[in-house]
Amino acid sequence: MYAVISDIHANLEALEAVLGDVPEDVETIYCLGDVIGYGADPDECCDIVRTLGMPTISGNHDLAVTDLETDLNWFNPTAAAAVLWTREHLSEENAEFLRTRPRMMRTEEALFVHGSLRDPDEYIINKISAQDNLAMLKSVYPDVPICFFGHTHVKAVAPSPNGAMSRGHTLDLRSGGPYLVNPGSVGQPRDGDTFASYVIADGESVLYRFVEYDIKKAQAKIRAAALPDMLADRLAVGR
């Protein structure tokens, strides 16, 4: 059994709550990238991911912070401000770690990407992008039943399961696949939910886990760090 987490975004309170929730029989925690950016604890979050030995891929924020050649014009002003702040608050060891992760991982059971299978910076946000990536999954990786992706900070499964995605929602992998699964964001959900989310999976099923954390504490740290206020405000509304 393994867990998949994504988009921690330097939110230490959310990351610690999630790690406290992971069941003991989980052998590996895979991280889909964006460990840093937006939140006030980039170094602490990266220390945890690195020292626990989580297989991790580089997200666009991880690379924007650690690759000084990145063109920040691609980021909105708030995100760009967070990138510049984070560059000043990350150890060289952690910067090197984040800069040198792969952009895709594969196990016997699954693929792991940040944005999408065809482009690590693509947002899978609608049926068309999901269908295109499912078609690519089937043709290029016919033996892989599932591809985990992040980047949108929105919990999602394609093709859609029956019923709404809820706490304890279990996706049966033994039929109807392959699937694209977004576990949602640990540190900055954008689907209207304020809790952290992640998934637990084995070869047969995927289970969503929802975790409450100390949002007020994370917000206070963002404000004390003089990061843009909006980055604290949004945690309370999940947008």
The secondary structure element, H or E, covering residue 171 is strand 170-172
Cβ atoms of 155 and 184 within 8 Å: the answer is yes
Q: Is 161 exposed, middle or buried (0-12, 13-18, 19+ CB in 10 A)?
A: middle
Task: Verify binding: residue 122, Zn ion, rule CB under 5 A.
Answer: no
Q: Is 163 exposed, middle or buried (0-12, 13-18, 19+ CB in 10 A)?
A: exposed
- Pick the closer one to Zn ion by CB: 145 or 183: 183
- Pick the closer one to Zn ion by CB: 34 or 122: 34
- Pick the closer one to Zn ion by CB: 7 or 16: 7
Six token digits for residue 73: 């014009």
CA dihedral 219, 207, 177, 107 (to 10 degrees): 80
The sign of the torsion formed by the CA atoms of 130, 107, 67, 61 equals positive
To Zn ion, the closest distance from the beta carbon of 1 in angstroms equals 25
- Pick the closer one to Zn ion by CB: 16 or 34: 34
Q: Contact with Zn ion (CB under 5 A): which of 7, 13, 41, 62?
A: 7
What letter represents residue 51's amino acid? Answer: T
To Zn ion, the closest distance from the beta carbon of 57 in angstroms equals 12
To Zn ion, the closest distance from the beta carbon of 186 in angstroms equals 10
Six token digits for residue 218: 């994370």
- Pick the closer one to Zn ion by CB: 58 or 219: 58
To Zn ion, the closest distance from the beta carbon of 170 in angstroms equals 26
Q: Is 143 exposed, middle or buried (0-12, 13-18, 19+ CB in 10 A)?
A: exposed
Closest residue to Zn ion, Cβ-based? Answer: 34
Cβ atoms of 134 and 126 within 8 Å: the answer is no
- Pick the closer one to Zn ion by CB: 7 or 13: 7
To Zn ion, the closest distance from the beta carbon of 39 in angstroms equals 11
Site string for Zn ion, 20-59 (x = CB under 5 A): --------------x-------------------------
Cβ atoms of 137 and 129 within 8 Å: the answer is no
Report how many residues bind Zn ion under the rule CB under 5 A.
2
To Zn ion, the closest distance from the beta carbon of 185 in angstroms equals 7
Indicate the length of the chain as a whole number.
Answer: 239
Segment interacting with Zn ion (CB under 5 A) among 3-11, 166-174, 175-183, 212-220: 3-11
Residues that bind Zn ion (CB under 5 A): 7, 34
